[in-house]
Structure 1
Amino acid sequence: MELWSLKNLLPFIGMVVVILSQVSILQVMKAAMSKGKNKFAIMVYSNILSIFVLLVSCLIKHRSDRPPPLNFSTICKFFLLSLIGCSMQIFSYVGIEYSSPTLATAMSNLIPAFTFILALVFRMEKLNWRSKSSQAKSIGTIVAIAGAFVITFYKGPLLLKTFSGSSTTRSNWILGGFFLASDAFLSSTWYILQALILRNFTSVLILMLFTSFFGTILAAIFSLIVVVDSSAWNLKPDIGLVAVIYTAIVGSLFQSSLCAWCLSKKGPIYVTTFKPLAIVMSVVIGFLLLGDVLCLGSPFGCSLIGAIIIVAGFYSVMWGKAKEEYTIEHSEVGSLKSSSEKVPLLHNKIERIVDM
């Protein structure tokens, strides 16, 4: 129970909500694109709305306290983070258009592996093969990635099917997987860079505001070049408008801010280990709401075997991370106790010398 104290429970609940928000955003975007809505126009409009939502939130949050000081170096880091984030959005939307939200969440399980490697490179994480916690994290990550490949490439017997079914072709599925794998690598880089920025700049909302502002400019420039049909920019009270509002409010204000808070509390490795949970949520939502088929294993449906493997890997990583933090905390408490016990002995020796 000590492993699941309030200190660990709040970030855990926060990340579960973050993953649920990410999955729901992908599902809404896929529904909008299936109705012919342009993904890049939705991206620009949602980013513009995000700026106003985050600006109001920053004014409310910092009306009584002064925000951290800004300098040119910090703003440049914000811009780099926005550039990576904008590229992530583009690759993600193109990927789910060619495949499905289920494959998008499956390929996102590559993020923990990429993040773990980058964290080792930047010395944000240590690997000790003799430690059970390190073994659990490493093995759990490998198992989760293996489950992602099973759910993507293994074709098994059909278990359940809704009336609508799935019509994605094999070639589009592979092309979508390529874009989603690129998105996974960029996401890992984004998490690492954001964690490094939050070490010195602690205001999550201001960070989100600047990245949203720069990201909107970059997305607008890219979209104006790519989108040649002017009618694609017309907003109507339909699923396209729902996608804009939902992505802006849930994505930028709620999901991104909550994810950044969890990142500042637990680090990038902890945050990315929740990615495997997304595939389970996507399987359920995709089957119930979007008519995906439920299979023992299939690249065009929801894989039951892959989901079970991913859950096993996810649990192993979470246990390893909690065990590692538990060991560190108790070793620090033990060292404080030993040092406090040594202090009276030292005083006794000094008193004896003085008495002599």
Structure 2
Amino acid sequence: MARWVNGRGNLLPFLGMVLVMLAQSGSMVVIKVAMSDGINKYVMVVYSLALSTILLLPFALFLHRSERPPLTFSALCCFFLLAIFGSSGQIMAYVGIDLSSATLASAMLNLIPAFTFILALIFRMEEVHWRHSSSQAKVLGTLISIGGAFVVILYKGPPIFKTHWSNSSNKLQFSQQINWILGGIFCVGDSIVCSLWYIYQASVAHKFPAVTVIVFFQLLFSTIQCAVFALIAVPDPTEWELKFDIGLIGILYQAIAATLIRYILCTWCVLKAGPLFCSMFKPVSIIFTVFMAAIFLGDDLSLGSLIGAVIIVIGFYAVLWGKSIEENKIVKGVENLESSCHNVPLLQNRT
């Protein structure tokens, strides 16, 4: 694995995706806290996207101007479609977190590797050779990670760590089964849309390799799309008023860390390492979220969460091992090809 991470130039994408998952896990907790404080989820989406767009504008205008390909109508259409995936996924994620919990929303993201793997097979971006141990590891690792996520949801177990400051207001307010189910459905929808985003993002990034421009137009179009939806869903002007409270802190965090930095890092990592590599980091986010929820939301850390996290890590590294085997085979194949080319004489004697 070390050879795969270092030798193939994937160390920076590896570290980048870890930071992406940290930002996303923090986002789950911040969203839950902000919405519990009273801010409307749709308003929060619009304000955070708008602020991210404004902050990114100078970078999109002046960064790598000479190296950027021409901005065509076709490229703008691609960015608009990416924005549809991004904005619809964000709205579904916010609704899912509002109805359920940060931990459940993070756990449902572990469905993304399975959806991405299936889509990558359909679009011939990945191959499965059932007799090869690398393909078996990728498939089994994905299933194990998903299984670990459901362990976290379905088996709580006795608490192994309690937060003494937690109170009833921080406990689950959505004990109704229907809210839990609906929240899970919306989070699954977010996972499906995110998988589509990963696949399409890889295609767009190779055609238009200017990360800041791609992210800027995604955020711009997402802001417009979400604003139209939010103005219809939230017609009350008082809901749009900003106050100096946890809601404003949530918007700032969402705009800077969870949207701007995460989008740029994720887009760059998809360009450098591919969609499946990036999607496989989703299981790591639930580990971060469980501990953040215990610290900042007062949620007890239970035995089920710990067991599920361990299972997720096992599946996660099984997939990485499978990918490393494939990378090593590619390296050996290229080295053998280059060696055979060097050994062929320029002039061959013919009899």
**Residue type at the aligned position of 1:319:** W
Give the drift of 1:62: 2.7
Residue-by-residue CA offset, 1:265-289 (whole Å, 9 max, x unaligned): 1111000000000011111111112
| 1:291 counterpart = 2:298 | yes
Partner of residue 98, structure 1: 99
**2:132 maps to which residue?**
131
- Mapped to 1, the partners of 2:277 and 2:5 lie a distance apart of 14
Distance 2:324 2:210 in 1: 26
Deviates more, 1:15-24 or 1:46-55: 46-55
Q: Which residue of 2 aligns with 1:305?
A: 307
Q: Any idea what the Cα deviations from partners look like across 1:306-339, whole Å, max 9, x if unmatched?
A: 1111010001111111221121112111111012
TM-score, with structure 1 as normaliser = 0.93
Structure 1: distance between partners of 2:119 and 2:228: 30
Aligned to 1:220: 227
Select which of 265, 269, 274 maps to 1:267.
274
What is the Cα deviation at residue 246 of structure 1?
A: 1.3
Q: Which residue does the alignment assign to 2:112?
A: 111
2:33 & 2:152 partners in 1: Cα distance? 22
Based on CA coordinates, which of the two structures has the bigger radius of gyration? 1
Counterpart of 1:50 (choices 52, 62, 67) is 52
How far, CA to CA, are the matches of 2:199 and 2:5 in structure 1?
25
Displacement of 1:149 in angstroms is 1.1
Counterpart contact for 1:208–1:252, Cα < 8 Å: no
Which AA in structure 2 matches 1:99? S
Match of 2:318 in 1: 316
For residue 146 of structure 1, what is the aligned residue in structure 2? 147
Contact kept? 2:34, 2:247, Cα under 8 Å: yes
* CA distance in 1 between partners of 2:203 and 2:51 (Å): 27
User: Aligned partner of 2:260: which letter?
Assistant: L
Q: Secondary structure at the match of 1:159?
A: strand
Contact 2:29 2:296 in 1 (8 A): no
The answer to whether 1:169 aligns with 2:171 is no
- The alignment's C-alpha RMSD in Å is 1.5
Take 1:326 and 1:28, find their aligned partners in 2: how far apart are those partners? 40
* Offset at residue 261 of structure 1 (A): 0.6
Aligned equivalents of 1:274 and 1:175: distance in 2? 25
Identity over aligned residues, as a percent? 49
Counterparts of 1:1-356 in structure 2 under 5 Å?
A: 1-5=2-6, 7-63=9-65, 65-163=66-164, 164=166, 166-167=171-172, 168-171=174-177, 172-297=179-304, 303-342=305-344, 344=345, 346-349=346-349
Segment drifting more, 48-57 vs 116-125: 48-57
Question: Letter of the aligned partner of 1:309 in structure 2?
Answer: I
Kept in 2: contact 1:106–1:152 (CA 8 A): yes
Partner Cα distance (1:85, 1:348) in 2: 58
Within 2, Cα distance between the matches of 1:113 and 1:348? 51
Q: Which residue identity is paired with 1:144?
A: S
5+ residue gaps, structure 1, are 298-302
Q: 1:59: how far off?
A: 2.7
Whole-angstrom CA distance in 2 between matches of 1:178 and 1:193: 23
Deviations 1:105-135 (CA, angstroms, capped at 9, x unpaired)? 1000000000000000011111111222111
5+ residue gaps in structure 2? none
1-structure distance, mates of 2:160, 2:259: 37
Return the letter of the residue paired with 1:134: S
Change (3 A) 1:240 1:155: closer
CA distance in 2, matches of 1:328, 1:170: 52
What is the count of residue pairs matched by the alignment?
A: 343
